Amino acid sequence: MRKTFLTILCAAFTLMATAAQAQIGEASVTGGRVSGVVTNGIAAFKGIPFAAPPVGDLRWKPPQPVKSWTGVKMTGSYAASCVQDVTFVKLFGAPDAISEDCLYLNVWTPARSANERLPVMVWIYGGAFVGGMTSIPAYDGTALAEKGVAVVSVSYRLGVFGFLAHPELTKESGKGSGNYGLQDQIAGLKWVRENIARFGGDPSRVTIFGESAGGISVSMLAASPAAKGLFHRGISESGGNFGPARTANEGGATVPSLKVAETTGQAFLKRLGVADIAAARQLPAEKIQGVPGGQSGFWPVFDGDVLPGDEYELYQAKRFNDTPILIGTNSDEGITFVPGATQPAAFEASIRSGYGTKADIILAAYPHATVAESTQSARNIFRDATFAWHTWAWAVLQSQQGRGKAYVYYFDHRTPLSPNGAGHAAEIPYVFRTLGKFTGPAALVGAARPEDRAMSDLMSSYWVNFAKTGDPNGPGLPPWPAFTASSQTVMYFDAKTSARPAPNMTQIKALDEYFAWRRQQAKK
């Protein structure tokens, strides 16, 4: 018995020593050495700088090389979020610290050594390009990393700080202006390429994934020459950007031309009360952030450089970063943005205002004879014109023009809080395996049910499989066929998860005719 006891004791000490040595607790990265926190087999490094603070003369400039440090930087907590309305930060339960000094990223890794070469998943947060942060509890990468991937989340500048275009800035760069937030994302991906192997990650198997503005960013990176070779698969949750440039209030158009964006920037400086960019760079961030309506008018720009132009046309010309993609939308996204009732007359007026000569086609596809119909149609056209058509068009173009396969999903998992369908962002905690940690408007309230946990395990398995191989399929999972222009099959995540024909195609086809018309109008 004594011998057995000693054997067990030695084995326990061996396991403890192995566990202590198994994780990567420190690493040398660009700029210096960092120390993380190891918990239950996952090493977390939070707040690693990947670029110089974009302050003072570096405001409204591409991200600059990170400043080196001496000693070992402790990376046990998140850095401050980029400047934004603090209400947005609090809404999602994130720490409320905000700062212009915000270009930091986070790494979670289950690797036991730097030689493991695990697939890497790089998260890009959403928030309409005016809000968002890596420190939202639902974005914690621990549980996803437990499935055998290294997870990275990257901060990027927002609102006027991330997307101000101005003739002076265009002249200064010689390449256009207004896409500093996207350039931050690209700088983060360059950091991953240069450093992730030290955390056991494989720099040749990088998947970018994001939701809403993050999903739109994935689409933009897929069309950006500046991002070429920095990622090898793309996942977009409720994203995509395949409409023509916005010049006024066109329905479904969000990305302005450089000329339009520069005009917006000039008007902003007038409201700010300064004569030029040099003077604006001297102002405190709080004054810039505080200008009424200053944040909502800023979005990525077709600058001719980072975003060369209409992505639909770039794909048609095979000018894109060709990788496998996994993309999709949620069934009731519009309720998040159109929560109240919409009168039939108001619905019709809004369609006629935004959809030009194609308004009748759109109105025919979206019933609106009663308040109930017009309310649902107002939500559905927001879903379709903002997310679903872009996703469908992206899948068609990728399957026709690219070598990488397209896998498309439709998230319709329903809960007591969302009996009519899944709201915007509702899929995030299922993917991250962080059910119960999402405090936003699409949150799952109360304890997760067995069917919620089963859905989370299913979706995270698909996502991780895709990151590993470029194909979400795996043992024990319902078959997920690739989308093609002829078959147009998508994976429904609902009570009977399975592959079925693409949903809402009457509406999608009407919008496709509308967007084709808009592209023709843009050429005149």
Question: Residue 126 in contact with residue 210, Cβ under 8 Å?
Answer: yes
Question: Residue 178 in contact with residue 169, Cβ under 8 Å?
Answer: yes
Query: Cα(316)–Cα(504) distance, rounded to whole angstroms?
Result: 24
* Catalytic choice (153, 212, 331, 377): 212
Nearby residues of 68 by Cβ (< 8 Å), 6 or more positions away = 31, 32
Residue 504, by phi and psi: left (phi above 0), alpha (psi -120 to 50) or beta? Answer: left
Amino acid at 203: P
Task: Look up 232 and say whether it is catalytic.
Answer: no
Question: Residue 483 in contact with residue 331, Cβ under 8 Å?
Answer: no
Query: Cα(16)–Cα(26) distance, rounded to whole angstroms?
Result: 19
* Catalytic choice (81, 424, 456, 460): 424
Task: Look up 424 and say whether it is catalytic.
Answer: yes
Number of helices (H) and strands (E) in the chain: give both, helices first. 19, 16
* Catalytic choice (100, 211, 333, 427): 333
Structure tokens at 257: 């031309």
The sheet carrying 72-74 orders its strands as 26-29, 32-35, 72-74
Question: Residue 413 in contact with residue 430, Cβ under 8 Å?
Answer: yes
Query: What are the residues facing 39 on neighbouring strands?
Result: 42
Task: Look up 212 and say whether it is catalytic.
Answer: yes
Place of tokens 């109105």: 363
- Catalytic residue set: 212, 333, 424
